[in-house]
Chain A
Amino acid sequence: MKTLLPVLLLLWAAVSPFAQGDEERSLTLLYSGSLNGNLDGCDCKGNPRAGLVKRAAWLREHGNPDEYVLVDTGDLLDPYPDPALSEAILDTYLELHYVAIAVGDQEFANGLEAALEYRKRYPLLANNLTLCPDENRCIFFSTTAQIVERAGIRIGIFALIDPQVFTLYPEELKCKIKCQDPEAAARNQLLYLDEQQVQATVLLYHGTYEGAKSLARAVNGVDVLILGHEQRLIEPHRIGRTLLASPGEEGNRLGVLTLKIDSRGNIDYDHHFRLFSWKEDPDDPVVRLRIDRYRQVLRGRLDSQ
């Protein structure tokens, strides 16, 4: 037994994920939220908006999508119905290699059927959402979390939506939307991610700051919680073990969070927000072209009225 124990320890050390040394590994998480349909921006004094056209230019210039994890906390669509604008935005997100986009309440602006269609085509995620388009069936929006690997680190990403965000929506839509308790759903996803042996977990939470804080306190195992919906600008801070942050209003910022994971799984971080400006940042040519096409659609709509 005395000789067996050291042998077993050596074997464990050889197969452990950090066997190649004690070095720290780092991973960059880029996060955005609350774009509110701003494919283009506006130099408005009261409510300046940079637009996705600026963020896209920065993302294309600054990186290789294989080296970071790009996520969004939802409400990327305009609150008013506009299928052409919605598709232009979602196509851009897909092109920019977003790996997970939390479903926000505004993603229902074009109706339930449209949201179900987006679910098939884009990396939208909501692990506590069930949609019942008619009285004979209900559809789980997402059954599993997203797992991605960057720099040898397995990251599990899941998204939850707070049922309260639908409070002001019409009854005919609300009765078709079922949101399960975020706490129970979080535990469910964390169990799954633990089985999948991920080394970091990211929760995209679409709801209130209060809800996010109580979730972080109640559920153990979330490393990073990115909050969306209320458009608060929140610098990362810890609630228990969970790092909580929120990128603010109108999709104007991209959070750049570098997680440093040591051999024991402890996570330290560096962080800054990249604030985009409609005046000073360059346009992404592909998105500018998409905006021009969208404007033609708008003109066509106006001419036909």
Chain B
Amino acid sequence: MPAMKTKISCTLVILGLLLSAASGVALEPGDKAPPFVNLDLSKHHVLSKNYLGRGWVILDFFATDCEGCKKELPVVERLYRDFADSGLEAIVFATDRGGAEVVAPYFQDHPTNLTVLLDHYQVTVKKYGVEEIPSLFLVDPDGLIVHKEIGYTEDLYRIISSIFGS
């Protein structure tokens, strides 16, 4: 019975988060990062409360058929590797509408140590007002967006690492 209650509460939390999806208001530095709940590639629900407000987080919106996203991913991996000791987490939202069928084979061929979440219904895309990919948000330990990068830029590593440096 307690297990049943937990399941029901979990479902309600997930439904609530889904229903609170904002529709396309672009977020800017200074805004609070909205909560999210998405499936990972093992089909487990991942809740933002385990990340946001707990340390630095990079949120990277990606798609397997987006060239700029593919260029950006190794930079995010490098940032994660270099700053994991400072508590940096990095989450990749795979926005492919084909979902796990498309995304899982891609990451089998291109393994990553980043947390990959499925956003095939683009619920998190809408919450963050993402219109272009790649879009990257750096969120500080208070859960505030401190930097947003739209499109791939070769300066990405320098920009993000300088924020950590400061």
A185 contacts across to B, CB distance below 8 A: 97
Interface size on A, residues (CB 8 A): 21
A155 to chain B minimum Cβ distance, whole angstroms, is: 16
Q: When A137-B152, A138-B132, A140-B125 are in contact, do A132 and B98 touch as well, CB less than 8 Å? A: no
With both chains docked as a complex, state the minimum distance between the C-beta of A139 and any C-beta of chain B, in angstroms: 5
Complex contact B126–A130 (CB within 8 A):
no
Main secondary structure of the interface of B (DSSP, over half): loop
- A191 to B99: give the CA distance in the assembly, Å: 15
Report if A277 contacts B (CB, 8 A): no
Residues 114 to 134 of chain A near chain B (Cβ within 8 Å): 128, 130, 132, 134
In the assembly, what is the distance between CA of A181 and CA of B98, in Å?
7
Q: Are A128 and B97 in contact (CB under 8 A)?
A: yes
Give the one of A136, A185, A192 with max B CB within 10 A.
A136
Which residues from chain B contact A144 at a C-beta distance below 8 Å? 23-24, 126
| A184 B98 Cβ-Cβ under 8 A | yes
What's the minimum C-beta distance from A54 to chain B, rounded to whole angstroms?
Answer: 36
> Which residues of chain B from 60 to 113 have a CB within 8 Å of any chain A CB?
63, 65-69, 71, 96-99
Residues of A within 8 A of B122 (CB): 140, 143, 188
Q: For chain B, which range describes its interface: under 10, 10 to 19, 20 to 34, or 35 or more residues?
A: 20 to 34
A143 to chain B, nearest CB (A): 6
Are A138 and B69 in contact, with the CB atoms below 8 A?
Answer: yes
Q: In the docked arrangement, what's the CA distance between A185 and B98, Å?
A: 8
Closest to B68 in A: A136
Q: Contacts A128-B97, A180-B96, A184-B98; is A140 near B121 (CB within 8 Å)? A: no
Q: Is B146 an interface residue (CB 8 A)?
A: no
A positions within 8 Å CB-CB of B: 128, 130, 132, 134-140, 143-144, 178, 180-181, 184-185, 188, 191-192, 195
Q: CB within 8 Å of A: which residues of B?
A: 18-19, 21, 23-24, 63, 65-69, 71, 96-99, 120-123, 125-126, 130-134, 150-153
Q: List 20 A-B contacts (CB under 8 A).
A: A130-B63, A130-B65, A134-B68, A136-B68, A137-B132, A137-B133, A137-B134, A137-B151, A138-B67, A138-B69, A138-B132, A143-B24, A144-B23, A180-B98, A181-B98, A188-B121, A191-B121, A192-B126, A195-B18, A195-B19
